[in-house]
Amino acid sequence: MKRSGVGESGLIFNEPLIFDRGHTGEQGYSLPEWEGGEEAALKALPSHLVRDEVEGLPQVSEIEVVRHFTRLSQWNFSIDSGFYPLGSCTMKYNPRMNEAGAALPEFATAHPYQGEEFSQGALRIMWELQQYLGEVSGLPAVTLQPAAGAHGEMTGMFMIRAWHGDRGRPRRTVLIPDSAHGTNPASIVFCGWDVREVKSDAEGMIDPAEVEKAMDKDVAALMLTNPNTLGLFEERVREVADIVHAKGGLVYMDGANLNAMMGITRPAEMGVDVMHFNLHKTFSTPHGGGGPGAGPVAATAELEKYLPVPRIVRKGEKFLLRERSRKSIGRVKAFFGNFGVLLRAWTYIRSVGPEGLREVSETAVLNANYIRKKLHHAYDVPYDRICMHECVFSDRRQRERVSTLDIVKRLIDYGIHPPTIYFPLIVKGAIMVEPTETESRQTLDRFVEAMLAIDEEAREQPDQLREAPVRPKVGRLNEAKAARQPDLRWYPPGPEKSG
Amino acid sequence: MDFPADLKYTKEHEWARQEGKEVTVGITSHAQEELGDIVFLELPEVGTEVVRGKTLGVVESVKAVSDLYSPVSGRVVRVNEGLLDAPERVNEDPYGKGWMIVVETPEETGREGLLSAAEYEAFVKEEKGA
């Protein structure tokens, strides 16, 4: 196997469960004496909150705890440790400058209760970020409150609902292309609305004829992603938007793939009325693993009055929080959104600049097409044409011997995080690769070499591929068993197992 | 691949076996093969009214989460509760132990439009070719 430079040498330490570390009586804390004696303290507590014994609590010193979790963190794979071409997720590098800004004590110690007067800097940054996002999207009315992309979708849908409500027509169906992210239909259902799926055409694009057919008086909006999940630009998006508008609907855009178009075109030009941004994708804030995140929403001037409160308004040189707005959908988040994340996105935009943002998109698109061209002789590309920031392969040519899962598991042995697989659903055995703009040509070449080597292995030693990965500490996991019989907690040793 | 001749099929890959007023419903062998290892199922409760072509539940595999669509309209009279703890039965025996629900339907309603085994087999071939 060709050496890829990652995980080639070095020690892989074993690490027991924290329960198996340490020994009886070992501890990492020392509590002061009870004031007034233990008995008095016990009396002060409600009896149902008092336990005589805590079974099976780890008995470890502070350094044991630190070593345990440091070791576990070293087993992790992240963008800071290797190439992570997870399609649709935009795993770009998070510049350290963002962190430096967020660590400034003026920001790090700011508190939402310190009031407008003492928050002018923070408010100004938020107000400016709203302007920047408005400029990138062409949609001037921006809120920074939603805590994630899906939260942004919900916020946008509530605004669309309010708009229809004001027109006295409570529409409740949303059109969604069959290539959409699963989050899109989930958000619609969460809002209590119905989803109507629109079939893509043979080229993997939204079909205006299908939209025309599906569009009726019950349809509140069309929700689309552009570029779509095949990484293709929806060339007829304006035509589709016009069809929806002509029949009284609005157009929502999932901004998941905005990374492909910054400074080149704007959602407003495509007829989009409302959209959200995934700051952790396009604007290089950390992928929070559940939070804190940010999914700002931008809308047309017509929809501004429905934006959630509080709104940040500028009055001369002062920035104010406006809590009341008659038509607003109300609050969607405590306080003012996840400021630390917003600050990182602001830092990124300021450090890269307008030309830089355009270059980000151009390089992201170039990198994806480089990989597509380098691999399309070996791997099937179901929609083989110029793609945007990501490209979708399939296992069609390897399928007789190995599957998509085997191929990408083998990538782990080459020190590369597997791409997104089996998505979008409209491509059988999909392998979705998004290199992002932050990877060098050398890294892309290493990925291409690994993929070509795996294709060769698929022909010559398919059995071995089905065992992959073989080099990490933990090999191929039984995913079906993990989902069917999840083993999520530790039980103290003993005859009985419960739960 | 297996297409039992006594069953009716939908384009969403469910099968329906009619015995009097009762129709047993499951997913086809082709469907379970495409989905891969099935790990979770959400089925309706007894007494639920299901509607032809509308969602009746959810099937989740290691690859994807998909809706289940009802091939007939009627009231759910039995649910294969055992499947919830052993979803692998859908993979092992899709037309037998992997059955999902039994629906009581008014006689001969909403049956039209379902595919015969031969029609379904042709549909699957066509989908594969595409």
Residues in chain B: 130
User: Is the pLDDT confidence value at A499 over 50?
Assistant: no
- Give the ipTM: 0.72
Q: Answer whether residue A88 is part of any domain.
A: no
Q: How far apart are CA A371 and CA A375, in angstroms?
A: 6
Does A291 score more than 70 pLDDT? no
Residues A332 and A440 in one domain: no
CB contact under 8 A, B87 and A425: no
Phi, psi of A345 (to 5 degrees): -65, -40
Question: What's the pTM value of the predicted model, to 2 decimals?
Answer: 0.87
Give the H or E element holding residue B16. Answer: strand B14-19
> Domain check: are A46 and A141 in the same one?
no
Pick from A257, A234, A260, A227: which is nearest to A361 by CA? A260
Write out the residue range of the structural domain in which residue A39 sits.
Answer: 18-75
Q: Are A357 and A434 in contact (CB under 8 A)?
A: no
Q: Are residues A324 and A449 part of one domain?
A: no
| Least confident residue range of A30-34, A111-115, B93-97, B126-130 | B126-130
Indicate whether A301 and A388 sit together in one domain: no
Share of chain B above pLDDT 90, in %: 76
Residue of B nearest to A404 (CA): B63
Partners of A319 in beta bridges: A314
Number of other residues whose CB lies within 10 A of the CB of residue A244 = 24
Residues A328 and A379 in one domain: no
Residues A150, A335: Cα–Cα separation, whole Å:
19
Q: Shortest CB distance from A483 goes to which of B34, B40, B64?
A: B40
Contact A480 B88 (CB under 8 A): yes
pLDDT of residue A176: 96
Residue at token pair 């994807």: B64
**Contact A479/B88, CB-based, under 8 Å?**
no
The secondary element (H helix, E strand) that includes residue A224 is strand A219-225
Question: CA-CA distances (angstroms) from residue A66 to A21, A60, A70, A81?
Answer: 12, 10, 6, 21
Whether A250 and A332 map to the same domain: the answer is yes
Mapped onto helix, strand or coil, the DSSP state of residue B66 is strand
Task: Read off the amino acid at residue A82.
Answer: G
- Backbone φ/ψ region at B79: left (φ over 0), alpha (ψ -120 to 50), beta: beta
Q: The CATH number of the domain where A455 resides is what? A: 3.90.1150.10
Percent of chain A with pLDDT over 90: 74
- Bridge partners, residue A391, by sequence: A433
CA distance B105 to B75: 7
CATH number at residue A265: 3.40.640.10
Categorize the per-residue pLDDT at A33 as very low, low, confident or very high, splitting at 50, 70 and 90.
confident
Say if the Cβ atoms of B39 and A483 lie within 8 Å: yes
Report the Cα A241 to chain-centroid distance in Å: 26
Q: Tell me the C-alpha distance between A432 and A375, whole Å.
A: 13
Contact A484/B65, CB-based, under 8 Å? no
Element (H, E) at A412: helix A404-413
Identify the bridge partners of residue B103 per DSSP, sorted by sequence position.
B23, B76
Residue A181: closest CA among A429, A431, A426: A426
Taking an 8 Å cut-off on Cβ atoms, the answer to whether B64 and A479 are in contact is: no
d(CA A280, CA A292): 10
Taking the C-alpha atoms of residue B90 and residue A439, their distance in angstroms, rounded to an integer, is 43
Q: What's the rounded Cα separation, in Å, for the pair A388 and A229?
A: 10
Strands (E), A308-453: 311-315, 318-322, 391-394, 420-421, 430-433
A480 vs B63: CB contact, 8 Å cut-off? no
- pLDDT, average across residues A215-233: 95
B39: nearest CB among A422, A428, A484 = A484
Asked whether residue A285 is domain-assigned, the answer is yes
Least confident of A157-161, A380-384, B64-68, B116-120: B64-68
Contacts of B88 in chain A (CB under 8 A): 480, 484
SS3 content of chain B, % helix, strand, coil (to 5): 20, 35, 45
Decide if pLDDT at B51 tops 60. Answer: yes
- Domain presence at residue A81: no
Q: Which residue of B has its CA nearest to A183?
A: B65
Residues 6+ apart with CB under 8 A from A82: A6, A415, A416, A417
Instruction: Please report whether residue A92 resides in a domain.
Output: no
Phi-psi label, residue A274: left if phi above 0, alpha if psi -120 to 50, beta otherwise: beta
Residue of A nearest to B91 (CA): A480
Tell me the CB-side half-sphere exposure of residue A228, using CA atoms within 13 A.
26
- DSSP, collapsed to helix, strand or coil, labels residue B65 as strand
Please list every residue in chain B whose beta carbon sits closer than 8 Å to the beta carbon of residue A479.
37, 62
What is the pLDDT, as a whole number, of residue A498?
47
Domains and CATH numbers, chain B: 8-129 (2.40.50.100)
**DSSP state, residue A429:** T
Strand partners, A194: A173
For the residues A309-330, what does the mean pLDDT come to?
94
pLDDT score for B108: 64
Q: Are residues A381 and A287 in the same domain?
A: no
Residue A29 in this model has a pLDDT that exceeds 90: no
User: What is the per-residue pLDDT for A150?
Assistant: 93
Nearest-Cα residue of chain B relative to residue A421: B63
Average of pLDDT values for A333-357?
Answer: 95
Q: Do B65 and A425 touch (CB under 8 A)?
A: no
Type of residue numbered A402: V
CA distance B21 to chain A (A): 31
In angstroms, the separation between the Cα of residue A186 and the nearest Cα of chain B is 12
Q: Average pLDDT, whole number, for chain A?
A: 92
- The closest alpha carbon to A328, from A474, A162, A441, A491, belongs to A162
Residues A298 and A217 in one domain: yes
CA distance A182 to A149: 12
Checking if the pLDDT of A108 tops 80, the result is yes
Q: Region B51-60: what's the mean pLDDT?
A: 92
Reference A456, options A383, A419, A384, A401; nearest CA is: A401
**In the listed set A311, A335, A351, which residue is the last one of a domain according to the structure?**
A351
CB < 8 Å to A182, chain B: 65
Nearest chain B Cα distance for residue A480, angstroms = 6
Nearest to A484 among B63, B65, B87 (CB): B87
Q: Assess contact for A338 and A126: CB atoms under 8 A.
A: no
Query: Do A277 and A181 fall within a single domain?
Result: yes
Residues A104 and A125 in one domain: yes
Side chain identity at A254, as an amino acid letter?
D
CB A204 within 8 A of CB A228: yes
User: Tokens 């490209």 appear where?
Assistant: A391
Of A303, A331, A351, the residue that ends a domain is A351
Residue A324 lies in a domain: yes
Which one has a higher pLDDT value, A55 or A458? A458
Q: pLDDT tier at A203 (50, 70, 90 boundaries)?
A: confident
- Residue type for position A164: H
Where is the domain boundary, A6, A41, A75?
A: A75
Single-letter amino acid code for the residue at B72: V
Residue A86's alpha-carbon distances to A47, A70, A92, B36, in angstroms, are 51, 25, 10, 22
Question: Cβ(A234)–Cβ(A226) under 8 Å?
Answer: yes
Residue A79 has pLDDT above 60, yes or no: yes
Residue pairs between chains A and B whose CB atoms are closer than 8 Å? 24
Chain B residues in contact with A425 (beta carbon < 8 A): 64
Test the A interface: residue of B12, B32, B35, B39 with most A CBs within 10 Å: B39
Tell me whether residue A332 is in a domain. yes
Checking if the pLDDT of A400 tops 80, the result is: yes
The residue ranges of DSSP E strands in A301-394, in sequence order, are 311-315, 318-322, 391-394
Task: Please tell me which residue of chain B has the smallest CA distance to A425.
Answer: B64
- Residue A493 is assigned to a structural domain of this protein: no
Strand ranges, E, within A210-293: 219-225, 250-255, 274-277
> Which residues of chain A are within 8 Å of residue B63 when distances are taken between CB atoms?
421-422
| pLDDT over threshold 80, residue A70 | yes
Cα of A173 to nearest chain B Cα, Å: 15
Question: Are A177 and A195 contained in the same domain?
Answer: yes
More confident call, A28 vs A388: A388
Token duo for residue A297: 């929403």
Q: What's the whole-number mean pLDDT along residues A455-474? A: 93
Q: Do B65 and A182 touch (CB under 8 A)?
A: yes
Contact criterion met (CB below 8 Å) for B95 and B26: yes
Cα four-point dihedral sign A51, A57, A59, A61? negative
Residues A127, A59 share a domain: no
pLDDT above 60: residue B109: no
Total of domains in chain A: 3
Let me know if residue A90 belongs to a domain. Answer: no
* pLDDT > 60? residue A230: yes
Token reading at A36: 């007034």
